[in-house]
Structure 1
Amino acid sequence: MGNKIPKNHFDQSVLDKLIEDTGLEREVIIAWRKQFLMACPSGKMNRKNFFKFYRSLRVESDEKVKEIANFVFTAFDRDSNGKIDFTEFLCGYAITSLGTMRQKLDYVFALYDKDKNNSIDRKEMIRVISAMYDLLGKPKKDYPPERCVEDVFSLIDVNNDHSLTKDEFIDGVLKNPYLSDIISPFNE
């Protein structure tokens, strides 16, 4: 026992920072933290735990959710340590659900940038678009993911270097808002 801090204790400075970063109310954050700790008592969610948790939020089948859940996990894991703590989870959830379009696109960029080299190439985008097609049950023959990606790149790859920087990506989607329906799994 000793001076051990109880598991349900929430440091006030962390709570204040989360309120500021997410715009959520104190009670909402505390309720989400309780749910997070119920799903993951260690306070850190690995990819497998995240899939179970994410799966519970979706109505699609396991196989349809699995690949997109992997991309979302990578986007939420901001420090790339292979685990999502409560702060990463809540900030990711709040921004992708309630944030501005620019904030959401920052997470969408992270979702596509699998190798975390601060640019998106066509292969990275094709993988995510294919997973979104699968999740939504969209037939790939009507508008193949490869064709979709070519169209996206032709619109927003302003320097034609066959990769998208974060600024190119975000600015390009903001200038062509209909693209967000194509490229973002975080739309309402």
Structure 2
Amino acid sequence: MGNRTAKSSLDPNLLDKLVEETGLEREVIIAWRKQFLSACPSNKMNRKDFYKFYRSLRVESDDKVKEIVNFIFTAFDRDSNGKIDFTEFLCGYAITSLGTMRQKLDYVFAVYDKDKNNSIDRKEMVRVISAMYDLLGKSREDYPPERCVNDVFSLIDVNNDHSLTKDEFIDGVLKNPYLSDLISPFNE
């Protein structure tokens, strides 16, 4: 019983840190925590749990959300332990919803960098762009994902090494803001 209370209450220091990092009000964070624990009492979501929870936050159909959720899970799992805890979820969701463009792009980079080697290659980008096409119901015939990726790389791969570092990616998108609509799964 005491353990249950400890799990449901949020450490005041952590709460202060989350307010600072996310810009959310204390009451909003507490409400999110309650919803998160309701969906996942252990406070650690695996991919399947995350899919169910994230799916409840989106309006698109299951088949459209399914593939992109795998990439988002990897981006939110900042410590790469295969689980997302409340702090990782809240920071990821708040920043990708309310953060500055630079903060959002940091998460977008993590979505693409599937192997977490701190660079994005064309293959990684094509996989995510393809999943985004599915999410948005976009035709692959009009503007194939491969062509989209070639266009993105031609604009922001400044050293032409066929790989994008985080700085190259973020700076390139900030200089070409229309790219955000093409590459970000976090746009509404």
- Identity percentage of aligned residues: 87
Question: After superposition, where does 1:42-81 map in structure 2 within 5 Å?
Answer: 42-81=42-81
Question: After superposition, where does 1:47-126 map in structure 2 within 5 Å?
Answer: 47-126=47-126
TM, length-normalised to structure 2: 0.97
Cα 1:5–1:174 change in 2 (3 A) is: same
Q: Aligned letter for 2:115?
A: D
Equivalent residues, number? 188
Q: Aligned letter for 1:124?
A: E
Please state how far the C-alpha of 1:2 moved relative to its aligned partner: 7.1
Please state how far the C-alpha of 1:23 moved relative to its aligned partner: 0.8
Q: Which residue of 2 aligns with 1:180?
A: 180
Q: Which residue of 1 aligns with 2:139?
A: 139
After TM superposition, where is structure 1 displaced by more than 2 Å over at least 4 residues in a row? 1-7
For the aligned residues, what is the CA RMSD? 1.3
Cα 1:2–1:27 change in 2 (3 A) is: closer
The one-character-per-residue Cα deviations of 1:95-126 (angstroms, maximum 9, x if unpaired) are: 00000000000000000000000000000000
Please state how far the C-alpha of 1:62 moved relative to its aligned partner: 1.6
TM, length-normalised to structure 1: 0.97
Please state how far the C-alpha of 1:187 moved relative to its aligned partner: 1.2
Cα 1:92–1:150 change in 2 (3 A) is: same
Q: Which runs of 5+ in 1 are unaligned?
A: none
Q: Which runs of 5+ in 2 are unaligned?
A: none
